[in-house]
Structure 1
Amino acid sequence: MGVKIIEQTESAYSYPLLIKNLLTNSLVRSPDQEIIYRDEMRYTYRDFHRRVAQLANGLKGLGVKQGDTVAVMDYDSHRYLECYFAVPMMGAVLHTVHIRLSPEQILYTINHAEDDVILVNSELVPLLEPIYNKIKTVKKIILIKETDEAPKTAIKFETDYETLVSGSKQTYDFPDFDENARATTFYTSGTTGDPKGVYFSHRQIVMHTFGLMTGLCAYHSQAIMTSKDVYMPLTPMFHVHAWGMPYLFTMLGARQVYPGRYEPAMILKLVVTEKVTFSHCVPTIIHMLVNSPVIKTVDLSTWKVVIGGSALPRGLCEAAMGAKINLYSAYGMSETCPLLTVAHIKPHMESWDEDRQIDIRCKTGLPIPLVDIEIIDPMGDPVAHDGVQTGEVVARSPWLTQGYLKNPEKSEELWQGGWLHTGDVGNIDTEGYLKITDRVKDVIKTGGEWVSSLELEDIASRHPAVSEAAAIGIADEKWGERPIVLIVLKEIYKGKDLEAEIKQAFIDQHDQGNLPKYGIPDKIIFVDAIAKTGVGKLDKKVIRGQYK
């Protein structure tokens, strides 16, 4: 006898999990709470609800219908937040364009996603100009003005964003439809080949929002979140829905601050003047801030910051905590919507000293509810959760992309064996914490043994002279590969001969039993800058090409 399916009364309402249902609560609980853009614009949730309806009406007036795709090219702003809701709530698909790709890659994503309308910030028009005549499906382009002055360009604009919004009807009856309808599409900045499109349904985004709320707001930890927090994203809104956080904080009706183009002085000004208490970013952003002279003049003791996208080096964590920033890690990827784990300190760890707690903050973290994480060996079998045995990290959750857009072969690779393959190598310890030790493609293979590039970068980051570090393997006739470490020194140390001193740090870790002898890098190379991807991660593909 099988399971018993519930009977549904003919008049019962099934309540589909749609993005519009994330929006209603804020108007009930906090209609007068503020949403702020830089130091230029502030309005209430009541205004926000009205503008979402006006944007939907304006797009409808331009011919946008269910199933169409609306692309957005903008900095982090209140306008982007309005698009997060209005476009998918209409039943259209929101394409958040990766503006840090090359123009040719941007062209590929626009044509591959079959965009119908593009909304573009005036400062980003130069990205469209060289590809304008190659765009295949776009019917109308809307200008987002940062100033009253229109850009000098051959591109024909249908209208501008504020005219579209302000001239439209103030109410919109957002319809019900299948919760599995596609809501969003965006593209990864893959290291090989064309960018890959990932996509998420309304149901997945709603489930992820509640997963975020449970993972960040429910558990006693060093950084619990509530509706009283003031939220400011420092992860681009084109990248995995700014980690889904705008949906969460809009549902909570919290105060939100959007910084536009990332500038250290503006970011720190907003943190202080708007009393921001929660942000999230990649390590590059925190590195930029802790090295800004302005940081010494501000109080950041109430600021909680989640690091993701790349491993959190211990040295950077120490520097941020020295500036009173409550810093810790989380983990996910474009394909996972993204949150999988958070590095919360368990209650019994609260009595530990700061040095020991930093070890936990820098781990990849504990799975949030409805996330299954496993470590598998090359045969696909699980390995022991002993904090030692490593393998590939695989995951299951209700909010993982079901494939790559129009790419069935790569989709099957992603989901081989019914688990989403992250491409990360890691281990799980006896407390249940995941620790990513490397990307599968970034592991340094020397003499038949694996060396973690992330571990080498972490050791280097602890030296007081080191600003940034990147470890790679270079070809070696005898050993296959040997590790080298690229170092960017802090300004006050530049020009000093520190090679022997920094190499000694690796030897010390070997002497303490923390690093095998074959993991000691052959060379320390001092550079002025290290190549990064469009979202601020170390670009190991480019770096390996430079030093092959």
Structure 2
Amino acid sequence: MFGVMMNYPLTLAQILEHAHRIHGDKQVHTLLPNGKVHTYNYDTLDRRVKQLANAITTLGIRSGDSVATFASNTYQHLEICCAVPYAGAIIHPLNVRLAPTQLAKIVEEANDKLIFVDRACVEQFSKLQQKIDCKHIVFFNIDTGQNENRTNLSIEYEQFISEADNNYISDIQDENWAMALCYTSGTSGEPKGVLYTHRSMFLHTLAVNQADVFGLTESDVVMPLVPMYHAMGWGLPYASMFAGAEIVLANANHTHIVDLIAETGVTVAAGVPTIWARLLPELQKRKQEITSLRRLIVGGEPMPPTLIEAYEKELRVEVRHAWGMTEMSPTGTFSTLRKAHQNLSDAEKTDIKAMQGRPIPGVQVRLVSENDVELPWDGKTIGELQVRSPWTARTYYKNTSTAEHFTTDGWLRTGDLATINAEGYMQIVDRAKAIIRSGGESISSVALETALLKHPSVNDAAVVGVSDKKWGERPLAVVVITSQTDEDISEILKQHLATEFPKFWIPDKFVVVDEIPKTGVGKTDKHAILQML
């Protein structure tokens, strides 16, 4: 027997309508390249989104067409990420950090009919433009003080939307209609497309706004220092709109980030650990100016325990460590303390916070052996992590070879090796493909990296496998140290690791560098490290 409840499509239009109707006075702030802050409210956002939805239809964009962006985090980019799916088309944020040849393949596969380009990215885009055939290009520029030759521009954004009507009614009848296309970062192969639906994004938005996940409220001011091309900015803009929180948009590399936090009263900020390591010294100096900041949401890579302690003890900012994948929209697990942990020592609490965490509501996880046998949650047994949820992909976009990535019973093979303890806390041990095979034994690069990051002399660390005639492979560590020293850092770190690992695990060589290469989404780029070596 079926129930009698309304079957109302779950779409992005509902999120936008809720923000406009219920939280219309809440503001969106954008840090401009010149250091000034642009501000408007959700009412204005709604009006401009509807104008933009009308405008793109005049270019022949129809339901199901793909519309790309090549941009940083700005209010225009937010408008585009709302208007395109609102009109039934597919928003496709391009990873500006990828090589032009790689991007050209992605644009061709997505069949992008229109590309919006941030003029701050024009130089990069010009290299891509030579390799693609896209019918329409719209340029926008948040720095109105620029005076440059515009003869090569296809369409100017403000003129484009100003001529359009602001009356538009979204008419998406099926919640399973595609709304966004994001590509994986390609750290383990060619980037693969993940096609989100209105339903999946709506449910992801509900799930991440739970108290033990993002935990956003109407009183929050949220700053996602995460690019839109990384799973729609981790879903934070949509989650903020649904919660009625204010949004603060900025390029993570901008020199005025701390000024922005102080000026707008940011309460929740999100980004990869390297951002928070870079900003920590200035935040410490200006501690009295950033008292509004209460929470960091950290993902992409493990956050060093020493960095967690610095934020929580010195700045009184809670750190919430998340794990996810583009395939999961992206949130899968969150590490927050349970009531049962109240009496643990600070060090024990930090160890829990440094884990990848427990599945958020709606996500299921399991560990599987090489023989496809489900493994116990004992905190020790290592297996391949598999996941499923209403916002997890069941296949890749235009990719028919799915057996390697998806099981016959409907689970995503993450490619990660992990443990899960009895409380449900998951710990990534390594990527299955990144395990170092030395003399017939397996060495976890992630375990070594985690241990190195615990040492006070280490700011960042990466471990890679290098070819060895005798053992097949041996681990090599690349480290960024806190300060120069006359002591032998290699010997110091070898002794540090020897307290946790057997002798054959200890890297034979330690290379000190100024900076470890990162991908466009802030993950360690081990391919680049191997090329560098």
Question: What range is the shorter-chain TM-score in?
Answer: over 0.9
1:20 corresponding residue in structure 2: 13
Question: Which residue is equivalent to 2:161?
Answer: 165
Equivalent residue number for residue 266 of structure 1: 256
Q: What SS class does the counterpart of residue 541 from structure 1 fall into?
A: helix
Decide whether the 8 Å contact of 2:258 with 2:282 is kept in 1.
no
Match of 1:297 among 286, 294, 309: 286
2:232 equivalent to 1:241: yes
Please name the residue that 2:277 is paired with: 287
Corresponding position of 2:511: 525
> For 1:429-466, what per-residue CA distance to the aligned partner results, in whole angstroms no more than 9, with x for missing partners?
11110111111112222233322212211221222221
Q: State yes or no: 1:349 paired with 2:336.
A: no
Q: What is the CA deviation profile of residues 124-147 of structure 1, one whole-angstrom value per residue up to 9, with x for unaligned ones?
A: 1122223324323x2111111133
Q: RMSD value over aligned CA atoms?
A: 2.1
How far the C-alpha of 1:20 sits from its partner, in A, is: 0.4
Q: Partner residue of 1:37?
A: 30
Q: Give the TM-score normalised by the residue count of structure 2.
A: 0.93
Q: Which residue of 2 aligns with 1:135?
A: 132
1:376 and 2:362 are equivalent in the alignment: no
Q: CA shift at 1:318, angstroms?
A: 2.7
Q: Tell me which of 504, 523, 533 is aligned to 1:537.
A: 523
AA matched with 1:22: I
Distance 2:108 2:294 in 1: 40
> Which AA in structure 2 matches 1:146?
I
CA distance in structure 2 between the aligned counterparts of 1:71 and 1:539, rounded to whole angstroms: 25
How far apart in 1 are the matches of 2:484 and 2:298?
A: 26
Structure 2: gaps spanning 5 or more residues = none
Shift of 1:46: 1.2
Q: Percent identity?
A: 34
CA drift at 1:515: 2.1
CA distance in structure 2 between the partners assigned to 1:28 and 1:480 by the alignment: 63
* Residues 193 and 455 of structure 1: CA distance in aligned 2, closer, same or farther (over 3 Å): closer
CA deviation digits over 1:409-436, x for unaligned, max 9? Answer: 1x33211232101111100011110111
Distance 2:300 2:234 in 1: 10
Question: 1:494 deviation in Å?
Answer: 5.7
Equivalent position of 1:257 in the other structure: 248
CA contact (8 A) 1:144 1:162 kept: yes
| Residues 70, 116 of structure 1: 8 Å contact kept | yes
* 2:322 aligned with 1:333: no
1:320 pairs with 2:316: no
Tell me what 1:310 maps to: 301
- Equivalence map 1:324-473=2 (5 Å): 324=315, 325-409=317-401, 411-417=402-408, 418-473=410-465
Q: Judge conservation of contact 2:209–2:215 (CA < 8 Å) in 1.
A: no
Tell me by how many angstroms 1:264 deviates. 5.5
User: 1:100 matched to which residue of 2?
Assistant: 97
> In 2, Cα distance between the equivalents of 1:175 and 1:370?
27
The answer on whether the counterparts of 1:96 and 1:238 sit within 8 Å (CA) in structure 2 is: yes
Q: Is 1:174 equivalent to 2:170 in the alignment?
A: yes
Q: Deviations over 1:101-150 (max 9, x none)?
A: 111222121111101111101121122223324323x2111111133436
Provide the residue aligned with 2:202 in structure 1: 206
Within the alignment, does 1:501 sit opposite 2:501 as a pair? no
1:86 to 83, 91, 113: 83
Amino acid at match of 2:106: T
Count of residues in Structure 1 that have an aligned counterpart in Structure 2: 524
Report the TM-score when normalising by structure 1. Answer: 0.91
What aligned pairs does 1:62-77 form with structure 2 within 5 A after superposition?
62-77=59-74
For 1:186, the equivalent position in structure 2 comes to: 182
Structure 1 residue 153: Cα displacement: 7.4
The unaligned stretches of length 5 or more in structure 1 are none
Q: CA deviation at 1:193?
A: 4.9
Q: Secondary structure at 1:430's aligned position in 2?
A: coil
Match in the other structure for 2:142? 146
Match of 2:222 in 1: 231
